[in-house]
Structure 1
């Protein structure tokens, strides 16, 4: 029985292990005794001649093997290389199988050890053999056998831990040879301890596995969603210090890293995370919290970017200063790290400086870039050569200037994170297909950059089909509608567009006329019905205007009822004149008052009966091209 006190004296070995170390460790297996004397050699030769005269005839196979060992092609110690390798296999086999009677090497299940029924492996090397390929091959074969034995012991421990045969085999293949070599060398070195001197290698290997608690750890990792390749890689990364995996995992759970993210964090953090103690890990979180990252966010951040746990404190503070030097405050820094944790530990400082310098080429200042990264930190994850440069070249081809690109970047920076071929090019080609002109495409992208963030098949195309089939827009005008009102593509069909179409149809406007109104003013479908209804009610009931006035000037709904429509209507009523809606609302305040004064003068002249002067004024108006000839002035 091995006590806990004895196990504390076990030597702790770490891998990776060189071939030289392994060869040295197991060299005791192939121990060579001192050279045989000449008299001993003569005695062996005489005995061999005696055996040649008395042949065993009851077993031809055994006799054949015996004769082969006595042939002239033997090695100096009397054994062939194949025979030596066979002895190695038999002497280090875990399960000895009974042989038939008459075999040269009899193995019985009742044997206490393999040495009791086999010739001692030491007797094989009864002559001094110089270092050669022959000697190296024997030692490497012994190493392979010992590895196989250790591998089988590990599988047996897994089966006792109630793991399936397939799972145990697959996991063992991932642990071979790193962790298996660690167990093998540690078990071999334990023979030097007095308490293990008389125990077999199998017993020592089992003791090593039990002390490491690797089987319960594997079950715990499997329970948390790690696959066997991930578990195997994680155990190999620990370099034999299995306890570091458990302690680091417990620390991750304490900051609310849960489920499969524990294994992901351990794997992506690599060996450096397993080598750190809890105090060093806590210090990193303390620095983050000091600079605006909330404590309850730590689990999410570490789950998404465990690489930040691998930096030294000096490197970590350098990353933080990189963002604060761009004018970013603690609040912006904290939200940025939460939105995209990779900005703090995933990319090198050189790469980050290159991206900031490229963004400044659009005319942005250092502070502008800081605000941009705080708003959309995913930009730091985009490649300059593979993502940004092809996009800029394509936008330039469409006719968008650098100022337009700067607007796209500042208004919707996510556009610079999209793939060009699979996202932007397809949408631009779709706009061409429906009739949007090239200049219109450039202007609509600059005016409404969010257009490029919408799904072509789930958002853009369904809206276009709705306008053609349900809103009365003709095939000829659809390109004009999208070019003038790209914002329509961002509206919900069921919650916005369909409700507005039904409202206008309820006013008595037919579908074809509604399509022409939309072509004249595409934004007509974007207003809320709660805003449209009071304006229409005021137009019909207070202003006593016909529906045709609204059809001629659908932009009427774009003006404020309280600030534009009602005040100007009162001015017209007070002066007893009337204008078309276009001239009543679209002009500036100064132009409106000038037109009202001119209309009042014409009304006064009309009322005084000076018709000639009125006709003269009318001819003057027609030649002045100021729009008064089209105002449809009514006199009350």
Structure 2
């Protein structure tokens, strides 16, 4: 039976097989109390050691196996896993919630994890930035340093990201660090360049996307609604972030409103694909309805890009003066569409 002084790194298991429900609780570092609380709340109470008089700190293989049933556990799971928990806790990472999203962390080598953390933080990333990166992409912790180095080299030499911009690029898209240069990043770079996007260093978040699963379906969508292949790719060349928008939740409803309610020509979308970047409910619909009510028709940039004060000012000018016809060369005279 475990004694009351059993520590976290005791050679004996925290919960031996002959553990009695009334045995005393092991000593647990105070810093782990808050960390373990949400974990305890999700562990099923059918385990025999749950009928203790006091809460326990559970890192036994039984509990790990329940959380990650498909994960093969190493023979020294108790000791090595506890050390990893302590190390991750020491750098401010919530280990248990991380395991749910990335179970392979259980069997990852502590030495490899430590090397990865030290390498990334040596690149001038702060502790806060690193924790945020891991929260967005837990796989970073189990990525070998030998796989990280080619990513940084690729971004600098082939994508032409300045050394001073590397941090910004990775902070914006941490998933880049877990992508294979040869299988993912380089093929995507070549595709973007092939459709005329030359300054890929301004759109590095696209490099971690799949050409087949993300890019091509969106190009095909614009072809299906009436654009030629050339015009469709031209839209993405003009506005690369268009690749990131959901077809179902963004492109389809905004296109439908554009055609049905606004009654506009597809040529306007070709010239101003940024239309899809504006909120349908908060920007497009309200401004279009106000223009309809006052009998005014602005081109898309003038309708959407300007701030509210400038937009209202233009609207007042048009309403309080003789409004030219849409076919008139004076229709948009004096409208600086680049002003925001």
Q: Taking structure 1 as the reference length, what is the TM-score of the superposition?
A: 0.40
Q: Which residue of 1 aligns with 2:49?
A: none
Distance 2:238 2:121 in 1: 30
Distance 1:375 1:430 in 2: 28
* Post-superposition CA distance 1:108-163 (Å, at most 9, x none): xxxxxxxxxxxxxxxxxxxxxxxxxxxxxxxxxxxxxxxxxxxx54xx3322xxx2
Given that 1:158 and 1:168 are in contact with CA atoms closer than 8 Å, whether structure 2 keeps it comes out as no
Which secondary structure state, in structure 2, belongs to the residue aligned with residue 262 of structure 1?
helix
Given that 2:176 and 2:208 are in contact with CA atoms closer than 8 Å, whether structure 1 keeps it comes out as yes
Matched pairs, number: 296
CA offset at residue 358 of structure 1? 3.4
> 1:477 aligned to 292, 314, 320, which one?
320
Q: 1:17-416 maps to which residues of 2 (within 5 A)?
A: 29=17, 88-90=20-22, 93=23, 95=24, 153=26, 156-159=27-30, 163=31, 165=33, 167-170=34-37, 172-173=39-40, 180-182=59-61, 212=83, 214-220=85-91, 222=92, 237-241=104-108, 242-271=110-139, 273-296=140-163, 297-312=165-180, 313-329=182-198, 332-337=199-204, 341=205, 343-347=206-210, 349-359=212-222, 361-363=226-228, 365=230, 369=233, 372-373=235-236, 375-397=238-260, 398-409=262-273, 413=274, 415-416=275-276
Given that 1:292 and 1:333 are in contact with CA atoms closer than 8 Å, whether structure 2 keeps it comes out as yes
Cα distance, 1:328–1:429 mapped onto 2, change above 3 Å: closer
Q: Which residue of 2 aligns with 1:37?
A: none
Given that 1:308 and 1:344 are in contact with CA atoms closer than 8 Å, whether structure 2 keeps it comes out as yes
Distance 2:336 2:302 in 1: 12
Given that 1:179 and 1:236 are in contact with CA atoms closer than 8 Å, whether structure 2 keeps it comes out as no
Distance 2:322 2:59 in 1: 69
Which secondary structure state, in structure 2, belongs to the residue aligned with residue 253 of structure 1?
helix
Q: 1:528-607 maps to which residues of 2 (within 5 A)?
A: none
Please, which runs of 5 or more residues in structure 1 have no aligned partner? 1-9, 11-25, 31-86, 96-151, 191-203, 468-472, 493-636
CA offset at residue 333 of structure 1? 1.8
Distance 2:102 2:89 in 1: 9
Given that 2:236 and 2:242 are in contact with CA atoms closer than 8 Å, whether structure 1 keeps it comes out as yes
Given that 1:171 and 1:228 are in contact with CA atoms closer than 8 Å, whether structure 2 keeps it comes out as no
Please, which runs of 5 or more residues in structure 2 have no aligned partner? 1-10, 45-56, 65-73
Matched, 1:421 2:281: yes
Given that 2:218 and 2:243 are in contact with CA atoms closer than 8 Å, whether structure 1 keeps it comes out as yes
Given that 2:137 and 2:175 are in contact with CA atoms closer than 8 Å, whether structure 1 keeps it comes out as yes
Given that 2:129 and 2:171 are in contact with CA atoms closer than 8 Å, whether structure 1 keeps it comes out as yes
Name the Cα RMSD after superposition: 4.2
Which secondary structure state, in structure 2, belongs to the residue aligned with residue 180 of structure 1?
coil
Larger radius of gyration, structure 1 or 2? Answer: 1
Distance 2:249 2:197 in 1: 28
Q: 1:477-556 maps to which residues of 2 (within 5 A)?
A: 477=320, 480=323, 484-485=331-332, 487=335
* Post-superposition CA distance 1:585-617 (Å, at most 9, x none): xxxxxxxxxxxxxxxxxxxxxxxxxxxxxxxxx
